[in-house]
Chains A and B, each alone.
Chain A
């Protein structure tokens, strides 16, 4: 059974059709890369799945449950974490605290109120900080981090929340080649225990990690399959790589 199953999703915003009867699914423990030219609707799809916007029609099933139209916090509780395109964290909190409040736990106000940081929590936080190479900055406020480190911190927060499905929206934006390579390695490592949907533009990164890719165009799925097959697809060449493009 598919972990995430999107059925006939259509989104119309002020007359423009952003997603057009889009259907696709991801299996458990899959690492899927979502490709597509600008305006294909990749980020919109993620926003729909995470409840930021409500679809005009269509259904989203997660783990067999209908999550269409639920609020972002409910969808998070169901097990979907999202990484934003621009690094998005709690600027004045320390790196440690950023991870702390991302840990998997009850989220209701009165359940949370008397929660303490247990030694296990502490252990887990340092494990994640070590894993993400952020341990040295643990006590620094997040706004003192460099751009690359911020991207990593947000990834670390997602890992801390231990979701069933991670939606990563261009996590390598604005990084150096070296940073991209290391981030790709990190994502591979994360994908060993999690299901990951990655939106990515950079073909080097895609080539480094992709097993199966989905290409979107004008709000629809254009092609799906192994990377090598997909890049040979004539339609994909036409819309994404430029007609007759050498690759």
Chain B
């Protein structure tokens, strides 16, 4: 994992982690194997299986928040907008197709919630959604495009930080109200339900594959030079701008990538769970995603996964006890505790602790001493500085 520079004058390079360190490869393979074989020991129709797929979608969602918040410093409290739009496209398409084969009580071949709201037929603008592949394409492309528009409007005008957080929060409130208001097209309060979803081993593997792919994309993005620039923008956007980086463009880029992942997670979620509601696009879900990321550890890639599974898992365990009513309450306490005591999250804190320990290893000390000795051997003055005789003072 360590490619330490040697003090003997050979080729030196920076100490940098591998693209996928050995321990991560082993651990990752183990986790993937564990999740992949879950349908075999849990049964195809188990509730836990449904939960597992759901959690994977949430993990992708948290990962998308981590990319913009943890790595680039953009706090979005409305990332569920993209998740929600992705989910609604897929759910609508599946519902329309379901209605074609399962006519409503009055024999109409279009979604029942539209019928209840007085529509006589499928609205014209929704007919393209009969094609599921097209719907999936829209589910990821349209949110990405919206994220691009949002980025151009805000980042290009140097709006970020708290203002950006407030705007994104407002965005998700607007979308939520929109969904409730236009219930003839969106199902309103009830959401969209009763369509054939894809719960089962094959689709779980598909979700798992997408998760792994996104994880690797995120790793490639954050591990490369462009990732270094993103972190630099997070640390000091003014310096980056005066170093020739068009900060707005980098922000727009990463925001689009994040929206794409978020939307894909939503699309998978809709197809897996079989019910989509306004809550999946609302501010509460957005903030939940931020909490998962904070608990797991922002600016780490394992953090969001761990956070989503841990917090959601805890919620599941507690919801079967009398504590269920107080869950939101606990969530608040958890968030405050994390911010106060482990601001780097679980993974970040653990990583920091390990790094501190590693610094003390024998090899490290030897390397340090080598470099020190070499520095001492060289002229004390920086190269090219005037020697003692030619002082100009």
**Alpha-carbon separation in the docked complex, A66 to B239 (Å):** 23
**Alpha-carbon separation in the docked complex, A185 to B393 (Å):** 11
Q: Does B340 contact A (CB under 8 A)?
A: no
Q: How many inter-chain contacts with C-beta < 8 Å in the A-B complex? A: 136
Q: Does B203 contact A (CB under 8 A)?
A: no
In the bound complex, residues from chain B placing their C-beta under 8 Å from that of A117 are 225
Contacting pair B242 A72 (CB below 8 A): yes
Q: Does A21 contact B (CB under 8 A)?
A: no
Q: Does B235 contact A (CB under 8 A)?
A: yes
Q: Does A88 contact B (CB under 8 A)?
A: yes
Among the 9-residue stretches A11-19, A35-43, A73-81, A216-224, the one with 4 or more Cβ atoms under 8 Å from chain B is: A73-81
**Alpha-carbon separation in the docked complex, A179 to B278 (Å):** 61
* Residues of B within 8 A of A (CB-CB), count: 42
Q: Does A243 contact B (CB under 8 A)?
A: no
Known: A89-B236, A100-B228, A101-B225. A189 touches B384 (CB 8 A): yes
Contacting pair A139 B236 (CB below 8 A): no
Contacting pair B385 A109 (CB below 8 A): no
Pick 28 A–B contacts, CB within 8 A, sort by A: A50-B242, A72-B242, A73-B242, A73-B244, A82-B242, A91-B235, A93-B228, A97-B14, A97-B232, A100-B225, A100-B228, A101-B228, A102-B243, A107-B245, A108-B249, A109-B249, A112-B225, A115-B224, A116-B224, A116-B225, A136-B368, A136-B372, A139-B15, A161-B244, A185-B386, A186-B385, A189-B382, A208-B392
Query: Would you give the shortest CB distance from B250 to chain A, in whole angstroms?
Result: 6
Give the residue name and chain of the A residue nearest to B233 (CB): A90
Give the residue name and chain of the B residue nearest to A76 (CB): B244
Q: Does B284 contact A (CB under 8 A)?
A: no
Contact of B231 among A93, A116, A126, A182 (CB under 8 A): A93
Contact of B382 among A82, A101, A102, A133 (CB under 8 A): A133
Q: Does B331 contact A (CB under 8 A)?
A: no
Contacting pair A89 B386 (CB below 8 A): no
Known: A90-B239, A107-B244, A189-B382. A113 touches B226 (CB 8 A): yes
Give the residue name and chain of the A residue nearest to B370 (CB): A136
Q: Does B44 contact A (CB under 8 A)?
A: no
In the bound complex, residues from chain A placing their C-beta under 8 Å from that of B229 are 101, 112
- Please encode chain A, from 102 to 134, with 1 for each CB lying within 8 Å of some chain B CB and 0 for all others: 100001110011111101001001100011110
Give the residue name and chain of the B residue nearest to A91 (CB): B235
**Alpha-carbon separation in the docked complex, A186 to B391 (Å):** 13
Give the residue name and chain of the B residue nearest to A130 (CB): B383
Contacting pair B381 A182 (CB below 8 A): yes
| Interface of chain B residues 75 through 100 with chain A (CB within 8 A) | none
In the bound complex, residues from chain B placing their C-beta under 8 Å from that of A132 are 382
Known: A112-B225, A138-B5, A188-B386. A133 touches B15 (CB 8 A): no
Q: Does A45 contact B (CB under 8 A)?
A: no
Contacting pair B249 A90 (CB below 8 A): no
Contacting pair A108 B246 (CB below 8 A): yes
Q: Does B375 contact A (CB under 8 A)?
A: yes
- Please encode chain A, from 138 to 173, with 1 for each CB lying within 8 Å of some chain B CB and 0 for all others: 110000000000000000010001000000000000
Query: Would you give the shortest CB distance from B160 to chain A, in whole angstroms?
Result: 16
Q: Does A241 contact B (CB under 8 A)?
A: no
Contacting pair B243 A97 (CB below 8 A): no
Q: Does A239 contact B (CB under 8 A)?
A: no
**Alpha-carbon separation in the docked complex, A136 to B224 (Å):** 23
Contacting pair B242 A76 (CB below 8 A): yes
**Alpha-carbon separation in the docked complex, A92 to B15 (Å):** 15
Contacting pair B243 A93 (CB below 8 A): no
In the bound complex, residues from chain B placing their C-beta under 8 Å from that of A114 are 224
Query: Would you give the shortest CB distance from A144 to chain B, in whole angstroms?
Result: 11
**Alpha-carbon separation in the docked complex, A204 to B239 (Å):** 29
Q: Does A135 contact B (CB under 8 A)?
A: yes
Q: Does B32 contact A (CB under 8 A)?
A: no
Q: Does B12 contact A (CB under 8 A)?
A: yes
Contact of A77 among B15, B231, B239, B244 (CB under 8 A): B244
Give the residue name and chain of the A residue nearest to B386 (CB): A185
In the bound complex, residues from chain A placing their C-beta under 8 Å from that of B51 are none
In the bound complex, residues from chain A placing their C-beta under 8 Å from that of B12 are 122, 126
Contacting pair B385 A92 (CB below 8 A): no
**Alpha-carbon separation in the docked complex, A90 to B15 (Å):** 17
Contact of A189 among B238, B239, B245, B385 (CB under 8 A): B385
A84, A89, A90, A182 interface centre (most CB from chain B within 10 Å): A90
Q: Does B241 contact A (CB under 8 A)?
A: yes
Give the residue name and chain of the B residue nearest to A204 (CB): B393
Give the residue name and chain of the B residue nearest to A139 (CB): B15
- Please encode chain B, from 108 to 123, with 1 for each CB lying within 8 Å of some chain A CB and 0 for all others: 0000000000000000
**Alpha-carbon separation in the docked complex, A84 to B236 (Å):** 12
**Alpha-carbon separation in the docked complex, A132 to B232 (Å):** 21
Give the residue name and chain of the B residue nearest to A209 (CB): B392
Contacting pair B238 A88 (CB below 8 A): yes
Q: Does B52 contact A (CB under 8 A)?
A: no
Query: Would you give the shortest CB distance from A125 to chain B, in whole angstroms?
Result: 8
Q: Does A7 contact B (CB under 8 A)?
A: no
Query: Would you give the shortest CB distance from B280 to chain A, in whole angstroms?
Result: 31
**Alpha-carbon separation in the docked complex, A79 to B225 (Å):** 22
Contacting pair B243 A76 (CB below 8 A): yes
Task: List the 5 closest A-B pairs by CB distance, nearest first.
Answer: A185-B385, A76-B244, A90-B235, A189-B384, A96-B14
Q: Does B377 contact A (CB under 8 A)?
A: no
| Interface of chain A residues 57 through 90 with chain B (CB within 8 A) | 71-73, 76-77, 81-82, 84, 88-90
In the bound complex, residues from chain A placing their C-beta under 8 Å from that of B15 are 94, 138-139
**Alpha-carbon separation in the docked complex, A220 to B42 (Å):** 80
